[in-house]
Structure 1
Amino acid sequence: MTLSMLGAAMLFAVAACSADHSDAKQRARSGHPTASHSATATAPSSTQPLVQKPPELDADETLAGRQKATTGNAEVAFARGRKGDALIVAVRCQGKGTVKVAVRPVHLSFPLECLADKVSTTYNQVAVSGVNRDGTVSVEAPTAVRWSLTVGRGAPAQEESPGTDANSPEAS
């Protein structure tokens, strides 16, 4: 790996961590709208959200399903949405272990590494064919991990042109 690629990879890894929910969710939506996007936030212990409270959606997003604090495995059903909306799956966890999340019918799955002393939250937005259907989110989690989940629907992320920096004068 070249030094510039390594530097870019390190910059991306640092940029993906945020304690601010809206900042993390904005990053999750900044890519290509036909793929799954994820952002993970780990808050310092003094400002951590509680695992008992499922992640919140933005005001312009619609709730489709929710699970309060849970340990072990569970399935959460979510309601049908409008054609053209993206599906949002937000998971919050605490406790040492890996949570495995699977979303049907869109065949999306992702792991979330949970820590014993910190609350971690990940937001995924999916805008692929079939996300307007109803479905289920299956969560596999060790009993040492407490987790909560929110499923929502909203407008897909806007696709940015490659090489365009949102902070550059050309983007204005």
Structure 2
Amino acid sequence: MRELKKCAVIGGIAAVVALTGCSSGQDRAAPSPHTVPHHAEASTAGATPSERAERVPGETVTEAPVLPGGEVVAQAVNVSGNREVALRGGIQAGTLSILVNCQGRGTLTVSGEPVGMSFPLECVEGEVSGTLNQLSQKRARDHGTVHVAAPSGVRWALTVGR
């Protein structure tokens, strides 16, 4: 049953519509921004918070988001404001996955260095918003960091994997 659930989550990620922009530097092969697999439609300007596609029922910022597959190389939980997180073992060739959940009013921005990846996540009061962004790397690097910039009233949790 666990394998079926894992396959369903991975399949759901592949089928999700991209909701957040992702930009990167020269070494990327193909960015693949996704929201977490609980959602299938984009939010609209007139949507109420509970109708937002970024809304993640059952998720929290007091625990790290679950990586759907691969090796976890960094995590942070229940953080407010800005923080830089080092990636254990640097950046390897292949897919770099960044999952982030947030709660509170404001826009959180995640950036990955030295790859130049950056994406925003709109956070709202009283609900958990989440996203998964993936970036294919052509080559490895000895070090790497993920920086999260968020207003002090926004709490967030992060998982980075490969």
TM-score by length of 2: 0.68
- The equivalent of 2:88 in structure 1 is 79
Alpha carbons of 1:95 and 1:135: their partners in 2 closer, same or farther (altered >3 Å)?
Answer: same
**Residue 103 of structure 2: aligned partner:** 94
**Where in structure 2 are there 5+ consecutive unaligned residues?**
1-7, 19-27, 37-53
- Number of the residue aligned with 2:14: 26
Q: 1:138-164 CA deviation, whole Å, 9 max, x = no partner? A: 1110011100100000xxxxxxxxxxx
- SS of residue matched to 1:127: strand
Contact 1:69 1:147 in 2 (8 A): yes
Normalized per residue, the structure richer in helix is 1
User: Deviating runs (4+, > 6 A) in structure 1?
Assistant: none
Count residues with an aligned counterpart. Answer: 129
Structure 1 residues 44-99: Cα deviation after superposition (integer angstroms, max 9, x where no partner): 6xx321111111112x4101110111000001111236854211111110111000
In the alignment, does 2:70 pair up with 1:61? yes
Query: 1:40 corresponds to which letter in structure 2?
Result: T
Relative to the length of structure 1, the TM-score reads 0.65
Q: What amino acid does structure 1 have at the position aligned with 2:32?
A: H
2:94/2:137 contact within 8 Å kept = no
Answer yes or no: is the 8 Å Cα contact 1:35–1:127 preserved in 2: yes
Structure 1's unaligned 5+ residue stretches are 1-19, 154-172
Structure of higher CA gyration radius: 1
Evaluate the alpha carbon distance shift between residue 27 and residue 102 of structure 1 in structure 2; reply closer, same or farther with a 3 A threshold.
same
Describe the superposition over 1:96-115 as per-residue Cα deviations: whole angstroms up to 9, x where unpaired: 10001110010111111111
RMSD: 2.7
Aligned residues with identical type, % of pairs: 36
